[in-house]
């Protein structure tokens, strides 16, 4: 019987008849997917909400202030 190692907990589980393979259980499958999703969402947000015009306005205001 082929055995697969669960990528989540490392437990060896039977490959055949395991609907959650390569994980040993649904719990491990969900935990692993959750960790992956958390990693995605914890990526630092890029300051892409500022448009070119916004950035220029900030720059102009900054230069204007420093000129006075």
Q: Is residue 8 within the footprint of Zn ion (CB under 5 A)?
A: yes
Q: Is residue 24 within the footprint of Zn ion (CB under 5 A)?
A: yes
Q: Is residue 31 within the footprint of Zn ion (CB under 5 A)?
A: no
Burial 10-26 (b: 16+ CB within 10 A, else e): eeebeeeeeeeeebbbe
Q: Is residue 6 within the footprint of Zn ion (CB under 5 A)?
A: yes
Whole-number minimum distance, CB 12 to Zn ion, in Å? 10
Tokens of 65: 């202030």
Footprint of Zn ion (CB under 5 A): 6, 8-9, 11, 24, 28
């Amino acid at each position: 019987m082929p055995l697969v190692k669960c990528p989540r907990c490392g437990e060896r589980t039977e490959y055949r008849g395991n609907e959650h393979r390569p994980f040993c259980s649904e719990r491990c499958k969900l935990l692993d997917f959750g960790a992956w999703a958390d990693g995605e969402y914890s990526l630092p947000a890029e300051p892409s909400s500022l448009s070119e015009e916004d950035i220029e306005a900030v720059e102009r205001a900054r230069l204007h202030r420093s000129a006075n």
